[in-house]
Amino acid sequence: MSSGVPSQTAQAQKSQDTSAPDFKELGIENTNIKTDSGVDLSGNQKVLVGSVLDLFAGRPSLKKLQLWKDDATFADPITKAEGRKQYEAQWYGLQTAFSEIERLSYNVVSGGNPITMNLSTRYVVKGINTEQTIDSVVKIHTDAEGKHITMVEDKWNGSIPEGPFTKVFRNLNSVVVPAFVSVPKNEEEDRKKGN
């Protein structure tokens, strides 16, 4: 999937990188973005990838989530969260559900739109100490300018299962999680949560 030629999106973003937000101002912890040979990311694409890596590590913040469009979607095999209320709850929910989250490896394999990366993460479920490693293909879709996330697909073992049962479960999860997960209303509440 990797390509030695930057995508049109990456080329356009390179010329606009002087206005790209930086890692520090957004509180992004993952700043050393690993790419396959020949994959060239713009500065803004690196910021988006770093923010998504932080989210998968259970390190959400309102600043990082401002990189997402209000009507963006997060999809994985167990949920399809559409809109800010649903996807924010999914990301903040990781802190609630897991006592440990460890990224084992990752690498960006395509710098187009979507940006594609392979990700391996180890999760430990709170309370029962059950451990699970998930190997994913993560696709980060952006708007035409490449500045905001419109969708993140987390394909476990490279796929998101489809079918009526899966669809019902995923939609239910996207509605139930926001009812039980508290998303900070402002940066002060975010800081109190340790973000």
User: Does residue 8 register a pLDDT over 60?
Assistant: no
Average the pLDDT over each of 80-84, 102-106, 178-182 and give the range with the smallest value: 178-182
- Name the pairing type of β-strands 68-76 and 149-156: parallel
174: Cα separation from own chain's centroid = 16
Give the mean pLDDT of the chain.
Answer: 83
Give the pTM: 0.79
Residue 142 has pLDDT above 90, yes or no: yes
Cα–chain center distance at 115: 11
Confidence category of residue 33, pLDDT binned at 50, 70, 90: very high
- Could you tell me the pLDDT band of residue 131, with boundaries at 50, 70 and 90? confident
Q: What is the DSSP annotation of 94-154?
A: HHHHEEEEEEEEEEEEEESSSEEEEEEEEEEETTT--EEEEEEEEEEEE-TTSSSEEEEEE
137 vs 30, more confident: 137
Per-residue pLDDT band at 122 (split at 50, 70, 90): very high
Sign, Cα dihedral of 94, 113, 34, 32:
negative
CA dist., res. 109 & res. 118, Å (int): 7
pLDDT given for residue 127 in this prediction: 83
Domains of the chain: 8-181 (3.10.450.50)
| Mean pLDDT across 59-80 | 93
pLDDT exceeds cutoff 60 at 164:
no
| Amino acid at position 25, single letter | E
Q: What is the pLDDT of residue 78?
A: 82
Write down the pLDDT at residue 77: 85
Give residue 91's pLDDT: 93
5, 125, 132 from 39: Cα distances, Å? 8, 35, 30
Distance (Å, whole) CA 169 – CA 151: 19
Continuous segment of H or E residues that includes residue 24: helix 23-26
